Amino acid sequence: MKTAARLLLLLATMALMAACGNKDLNGYFAKGFKKHNAGDLAGAINYYTLAIALRPDYAEAFYNRGLVKQEKGDLQGAIDDYTRTIELQPDYSFAYNNRANARSDKGELSGAIKDYNKALKFDPFNITACFNRASAKARTGDYDGAIKDYTTVIALHPIAKPDLSEAFYRRGCAEHDKGNLD
């Protein structure tokens, strides 16, 4: 009888700890989000790290912490967090896109283009990844690839958006750099 009572007490304690852990986990994540939106980047990183400590497979916490690290200028830290996000959720298109952005900012254009390709593999309508890949291709001198990507962005992008002009402008720059002045 004592063994059964101890087992029930142990199970009840574990259930209570799990419930409290989930509450803390969600609270830490929400506080990290609030801190980030308020511009408190160090506070945001702290709360996302606490959420990750409670649940080491929390892909969204790694992703959001990567965003904050990237905003702080910690590009390698951001890359590491995006990489962990991708390990946990291999089809996370925006994690590939943002890791590519960080790699591009570090001058690692080949790795960035590979990540943009992965982002587009999982979400062919990810206009941001297509635009960013075009920019990276132009920086490597692949003007034909850049022109093709900018043309895709123009075709996919809603006409009503005013920022579409940037794709037209950059496509024109790539044509110019390629030597096609017409």
**Tens of pLDDT along 114-171?**
999 999 999 998 889 999 999 999 999 999 999 999 889 888 876 545 466 676 666 6
Please state the φ and ψ torsions of residue 45, each to the nearest 5 degrees: -60, -45
pLDDT tens figures, 72-93: 999 999 999 999 999 999 999 9
Asked whether residue 29 is assigned to any structural domain, the reply reads: yes
Asked whether residue 140 is assigned to any structural domain, the reply reads: no
Asked whether residue 49 is assigned to any structural domain, the reply reads: yes
Asked whether residue 55 is assigned to any structural domain, the reply reads: yes
CATH number at residue 64: 1.25.40.10
- What residues have CB less than 8 Å from 129, skipping those under 6 apart? 93, 96, 97, 100, 116, 119, 120, 123
Two structure tokens written together for 170? 């950059």
CB 118 within 8 A of CB 146: no
pLDDT of res. 178: 77
Asked whether residue 50 is assigned to any structural domain, the reply reads: yes
Domain range enclosing 68: 18-76
Asked whether residue 92 is assigned to any structural domain, the reply reads: no
CB 174 within 8 A of CB 138: yes
Burial pattern 75-110, b for ≥16 Cβ within 10 A else e, equals bebbbbbbebbbebeeebbbbbbbbbbbbbeeebbe
Q: How crowded is the C-beta side of 124, counted as CA atoms within 13 Å?
A: 2
pLDDT of res. 159: 55
- The pTM (predicted TM-score) of the whole model is 0.77
Domains: count for the chain: 1
In terms of phi and psi (left: phi > 0; alpha: psi -120 to 50; beta: otherwise), the region of 141 is left
